[in-house]
Amino acid sequence: MFGSGMTSASARGRLVDKLAAQNLATPEVLEILREVPRHVFVDEAIAHRAYDDTVLPIGFQQTISQPTIVAMMTNAAAGVADRSRALEIGTGCGYQTAVLSRLFDEVYTVERIEPLQLRARRTLANLEITNVTFKFADGHDGWPEYSPFNVVIGTASAEEVPTSLCNQVALDGRLIMPVDNQVYVGQSLVQWERTESTFRKSNLCGVRFVPMLRGVEATP
Ligand code: SAH
């Protein structure tokens, strides 16, 4: 589906083989990571590092998440029974968005830095991905018009989960995002599952994400 040179396809394959060896995700999720090119989401100057299992800069002091973490978050997202709608807070370069677009019927994604959002739009259009709706806004409020979502994914770390995001999770849905640790330095990737009566919380792993900030930064 996504055209790319042999070199990057084989490099991507080797990266996904490493992720597979760590049992981080189901075969379905690994197959998606094998198909979605990561190098087209970063600057050409660093594209040769796109298939290292590492965070890379995407400008505006932001980063594209590490493949290991994308695999884990996507795997958690894929575990819901109903894959109608996902909401992502923090589009960044749009790589996680593109991966989610292969799992969910509709993906809604919110970014507070306008030039990043515009670039992500272009990259996804070039990949002929048509089931993603973008919004330039502060994601703290989620996207109530399209809620509830079967999955809400946050790719920036907050002191605590914004209440409006919890409110927009569908029954049996999941909210997956990094949250600052209260007791020691660092962040935890946390998953909340919405049941009839409560949210069931589980910690997935320790992580290091950029902070979730207030307000927006428009193109000058
Ligand atoms: N999944 C993205 C991660 C980008 S880093 C990728 O792989 O490229 C996190 C992103 O969250 C940044 O682009 C940052 O601008 C954005 N962000 C931070 N706070 C936000 C907020 N309040 N609302 C929306 N986006 C936010």
Q: Which atom of ligand 1 is nearest to the CA of 110?
A: 24
Q: Which residue has the tokens 């996507």?
A: 74
In whole angstroms, how far apart are CA 96 and each of 26, 30, 106, 200? 16, 13, 14, 24
Which residue numbers are catalytic?
65
What pLDDT is attached to residue 111?
98
What pLDDT is attached to residue 6?
53
What pLDDT is attached to residue 41?
97
- Is the preceding peptide bond at 148 cis, omega within 30 degrees of 0? yes
- Count the neighbouring beta carbons within 10 Å of the beta carbon of residue 3: 9
CA 46 – CA 16 distance, rounded (Å): 19
Residue with CA nearest ligand 1 atom 16:
90
Q: In what order do the strands lie in the sheet with 85-89?
A: 132-136, 106-111, 85-89, 149-154, 169-180, 187-194, 199-207
pLDDT tens digits, 36-82:
999 999 999 999 999 999 999 999 999 999 999 999 999 999 999 99
CA 121 – CA 116 distance, rounded (Å): 9
- In order along the chain (220 residues), what is the average pLDDT of each group of 10 residues? 62 96 96 97 94 96 97 98 98 98 98 98 98 98 98 96 96 97 84 94 93 94
The kind and range of the H/E element at 156 are none
- Contacts for 140 with CB less than 8 Å, ≥ 6 apart: 158, 162, 164, 165, 212, 214
The ligand 1 site (C-beta within 6 Å) comprises 58, 62-65, 89-90, 92-93, 95-96, 110-113, 116, 138-140, 155-156, 210, 212-213
3-class SS of residue 204: strand
User: Is residue 190 within 8 Å of residue 203, measured between CB atoms?
Assistant: yes
What pLDDT is attached to residue 4?
47
Q: Which atom of ligand 1 is nearest to the CA of 97?
A: 1
3-class SS of residue 4: coil
What pLDDT is attached to residue 181?
86
CA angle 87, 99, 60 (to 5 degrees): 75
Q: Give the Å distance between the CA of 111 and the centre of ligand 1.
A: 6
Q: Which atom of ligand 1 is nearest to the CA of 88?
A: 1
User: Is residue 17 within 8 Å of residue 103, measured between CB atoms?
Assistant: no
CA 182 – CA 203 distance, rounded (Å): 14
Residue with CA nearest ligand 1 atom 6:
64
What pLDDT is attached to residue 1?
41
Q: pTM for the full model?
A: 0.96
What pLDDT is attached to residue 182?
76
CA 93 – CA 52 distance, rounded (Å): 17
The kind and range of the H/E element at 183 are none
